[in-house]
Amino acid sequence: MMLFLKLSLFTLIISAPGLMVSGENMITCYSDVQRLTCETGLIKVKSTVYGRTNSITCNTNRPFSEVTFTNCALRITTIADRCNGLKECELKTDLLGNPDPCFGTYKYYNTTYDCINGHRVVICEQGYSTLDCGSDSIEIINANYGRGNSRTCSNGILSSQTQNTNCYAPNTLSIVAAMCKGKKTCTVEASNTIFNDPCVGTVKYLTVSYICTREIVTCESSTATLNCGAHRIKIISANYGRTDSTTCSSGRPASQTSNKNCYTPDALNKIAARCEEQSSCEVPATNVVFSDPCFGTYKYLTIVYSCVMLVREHEASSRVFYPGFVYIERSVPVVQHFNTSNSIYIHHRCFNTFSIMMLCLKLTLLTLLIAAPGLLVSGENVITCDGDIHRLTCDRGLIWVENSLYGRTDSSICSTAHPPLQVTDTSCSTSISTIAERCNGLSACEVNTAALQTSDPCKGTYKYYDTSYSCYDAETTVICEHSYSTLECAQGGYLQIINANFGRSDSTTCSSGLPSGLTKKTNCYASNTLSTLATLCNNQQSCTVEASSTIFSDPCPNTAKYLSVSYICYEI
């Protein structure tokens, strides 16, 4: 336990202190590039106003006549449509094509946005993934099926199939929202049969950004109670009024429920001012709080909110509790020692075998998550049909594979265009370790399953790969071939290598200025990397490593390689 507490404290120090949710504002003069970014979390645009509401902003070198009219404000949604759900987003404003709200006036774009604790999944073509909100409801922020860069879902693919990076299926958001909005979990498939193929001949992928929300509806005169337990309230949307005739209608005359167009424009701000950052909050659904938006109508209050984590909560808790499993006090060192065969012996709680360690690690991390939001853990699942690219990714933190199965346990998954004979045997699956070996400790990992050569558990059946994994915080370093770097634990901590590879798994890392012939092989792994580094560095306070074929065997001559290492620091 000590290990993970130390680790999370360390995480807190390196991550920006304060809220993981922040409000931002960006003003960009017409024709310049508007750039929105979130250091942590995903962009959610609250509003963009195009026009001019004061005479000072963007007035440099402009004639008086172009900046004096200040009553010009057009609300636009183009920036929200393009940027919501991304971590960063750049738009050349003169290419947005917005209608001119005040001819002759020099205008600017004023965007206010939040960085929210969202989830973002990327699913390579023919893959499946499950969006999961636990007991909350899925709210889709954005989605695209197509290709926006040449790197994502490219492992082992011909470059001609990844060159088109301006490929966008316009119906993606509405289709994914219709499938998933409001559900607790939702499995989505990246496939031309669901979205129309927006760029034939290009290998595509589906990106979906979503948040988990709760909705409460409270009839007029009652009081809404918002509760986030250990986390904090973030208001997503709200209205006090009436938008249908059935909600809160029992026993009311029709005259009080027939108005379906009753809104309180500033309900969101009022509730946000009252509740945001609180762990629980009460809001009376009354005219006193909201001022009556439609006299004579019986109203109700609808609030959609999300529970987010505050980094500083970590400091408040000194005990960690995981229901039904362990109760741990911070002063008890649970991690007794590590050993170089990569197994962790955890006193009382877990077992010192490698297979159980994954479970332990997860439970321990989950345990911590309750009290230490700095150490992010999320459970993820990806399914990929045999022959396609299996892509695991962590928004924050690094991948830890819990289980990978190869086979078939369901007759509908990966069944398109396959005869019944190949998909009916659903009692076939074998647990494999290759995915864990390649992906543990990375923030994104692509494995072209066509090149895996997994031994066949059921000949004649068309199979798929099904991997469950978590994302946890750790350190990671990349060292280009022939370079040296020192892994170091601050304040007397000791190194434990989580994973390492010497080779190449993408064409961009350590490629600057190199001929493409040296970087095009992206399926290159030196199998002795982890054990070599573990011997060299585990349990040391610092460790200098060289990315060189003289230390690791050369897994791919004539390819420029790099060493990627992920590690944690523990204290005994």
Ligand X SMILES: *[C@@H]1O[C@H](CO)[C@@H](O)[C@H](O)[C@H]1NC(C)=O
Interface with ligand X by CB under 6 A: which residues?
25, 27, 47, 53-54, 57, 110, 112, 339, 341, 343, 352
State the minimum distance, in angstroms, from the CB of residue 45 to ligand X. Answer: 11
State the minimum distance, in angstroms, from the CB of residue 365 to ligand X. Answer: 21
State the minimum distance, in angstroms, from the CB of residue 338 to ligand X. Answer: 9
- The continuous run of DSSP H or E covering 223 comes out as strand 223-227
* Residue 287 backbone dihedrals phi, psi, to 5 degrees: -70, -25
State the minimum distance, in angstroms, from the CB of residue 493 to ligand X. Answer: 20
Of 397, 401, 395, the residue nearest 431 (C-alpha): 401
State the minimum distance, in angstroms, from the CB of residue 533 to ligand X. Answer: 17
CA distances from 518 to 16, 50, 159, 251, 503 (A): 37, 48, 15, 76, 12
Instruction: Say how far apart CA 96 and CA 77 lie, in whole Å.
Output: 10
Closer residue to ligand X, CB minimum distance, 56 or 316 = 56
Torsion of CA 311, 315, 317, 323, to 10 degrees: 30
Point out which residues pair with 43 in neighbouring strands: 115
State the minimum distance, in angstroms, from the CB of residue 110 to ligand X. Answer: 4
Of 179, 207, 190, the residue nearest 87 (C-alpha): 207
Tokens found for residue 544 = 């200098």
Closer residue to ligand X, CB minimum distance, 280 or 339 = 339
CA atoms within 13 A on the CB side of 562: 20
Closer residue to ligand X, CB minimum distance, 45 or 131 = 45
Closer residue to ligand X, CB minimum distance, 116 or 208 = 116
Closer residue to ligand X, CB minimum distance, 49 or 138 = 49
Closer residue to ligand X, CB minimum distance, 161 or 539 = 539
Closer residue to ligand X, CB minimum distance, 25 or 491 = 25
The residue written with tokens 């709680």 in the block is 349
State the minimum distance, in angstroms, from the CB of residue 400 to ligand X. Answer: 18
Torsion of CA 382, 386, 388, 394, to 10 degrees: 20
Closer residue to ligand X, CB minimum distance, 25 or 291 = 25
Reduce the DSSP state of residue 501 to 3 states and report it: strand
State the minimum distance, in angstroms, from the CB of residue 343 to ligand X. Answer: 4
CA angle 447, 118, 77 (to 5 degrees): 110
Residue 116 makes CB contacts below 8 A (sequence gap 6+) with 21, 41, 42, 44, 141, 211, 234, 306, 308
Closer residue to ligand X, CB minimum distance, 247 or 340 = 340
State the minimum distance, in angstroms, from the CB of residue 27 to ligand X. Answer: 5
Point out which residues pair with 423 in neighbouring strands: none
- Counts for the chain of helices (H) and strands (E), in that order: 12, 32
Instruction: Say how far apart CA 511 and CA 503 lie, in whole Å.
Output: 13
Tokens found for residue 248 = 């809160």
Closer residue to ligand X, CB minimum distance, 57 or 422 = 57
State the minimum distance, in angstroms, from the CB of residue 460 to ligand X. Answer: 37
Cβ atoms of 561 and 555 closer than 8 Å: yes
Closer residue to ligand X, CB minimum distance, 310 or 498 = 498
State the minimum distance, in angstroms, from the CB of residue 108 to ligand X. Answer: 7
State the minimum distance, in angstroms, from the CB of residue 344 to ligand X. Answer: 9
Cβ atoms of 2 and 571 closer than 8 Å: yes
Closer residue to ligand X, CB minimum distance, 47 or 159 = 47
Instruction: Say how far apart CA 499 and CA 220 lie, in whole Å.
Output: 57
Residue 494, phi-psi category: left (phi > 0), alpha (psi -120 to 50), beta (remainder): beta
Reduce the DSSP state of residue 5 to 3 states and report it: helix
